[in-house]
Amino acid sequence: MAEDSLFNDSPEDQDPDEQVFKSPGVHQDLVQYRSVSKSAVIAVAVSMVSLLAVLDFSLGWFLPATGIVLGLIAIRVTTRFEEHVSGKRLALAGFALNTTILVVGGTLFTIEYLTEVPDGYQRISFYTLDAEGVSTANPIAQEIYALKDNKVFIKGYIHPGVNGLGRIQRFVLVGDLKTCCFGGQPKPWDMVEVVLKKEHHLSYDMYVHKLWGKMDIGSGGHIAVGSTKEVTGDVPLQGGYYAIDADGVK
CATH code, domain with 195: 2.40.50.870
Q: Are residues 238 and 192 in the same domain?
A: yes
Q: How far apart are CA 237 and CA 107, in angstroms?
A: 39
Q: Are residues 157 and 243 in the same domain?
A: yes
Q: Compute the 3-state secondary structure of the chain and give helix, strand, coil in percent, each to the nearest 5.
A: 40, 20, 35
Give CA 213 to chain center in angstroms. 26
Q: Which of 24-38, 53-67, 226-240 has the lowest mean pLDDT?
A: 226-240
Q: Are residues 106 and 141 in the same domain?
A: no
Which one-letter DSSP state was computed for residue 171?
Answer: E
Q: Are residues 215 and 166 in the same domain?
A: yes
Q: Are residues 132 and 78 in the same domain?
A: no
- Which phi and psi (to 5°) does residue 123 adopt? -75, 130
Domain count, the chain: 2
Q: Choose among 204, 157, 194, 155: nearest CA to 176.
A: 157
Output the pLDDT for position 229. Answer: 47
Q: Are residues 84 and 172 in the same domain?
A: no
Q: Which of 67, 82, 115 is the last residue of a domain?
A: 115
**214 contacts 242 by C-beta, under 8 angstroms:** no
Q: Which of 64, 95, 115 is the last residue of a domain?
A: 115
- Which phi and psi (to 5°) does residue 24 adopt? -60, -40
Q: Which of 102-106, 135-139, 169-173, 215-219 has the lowest mean pLDDT?
A: 135-139
Q: Are residues 37 and 63 in the same domain?
A: yes
Q: Are residues 140 and 216 in the same domain?
A: yes
Instruction: Tell me the mean pLDDT in the region 174-192.
Output: 75
Q: Are residues 127 and 244 in the same domain?
A: yes
Q: Are residues 35 and 73 in the same domain?
A: yes
Q: Which of 66, 89, 115 is the last residue of a domain?
A: 115
Output the pLDDT for position 39. Answer: 82
Q: How far apart are CA 159 and CA 170, in angstroms?
A: 11
Task: Provide the H-helix boundaries in 123-199.
Answer: 126-129, 142-145, 177-182
pLDDT digits (tens, 9 = 90+) for 1-51: 554 544 455 555 544 444 444 555 544 554 455 677 788 888 888 878 777
Could you give the C-alpha distances from 194 to 50, 134, 156, 164, 184, in angstroms and in order? 33, 26, 11, 16, 17
Q: How confident is the model at residue 236 (pLDDT cuts 50, 70, 90)?
A: low
Q: Which of 9-13, 67-71, 96-100, 147-151 has the lowest mean pLDDT?
A: 9-13
Q: Are residues 129 and 20 in the same domain?
A: no
Domain containing residue 69: 2-115
Q: Which of 7-11, 86-90, 157-161, 201-205 has the lowest mean pLDDT?
A: 7-11
Q: Are residues 180 and 244 in the same domain?
A: yes
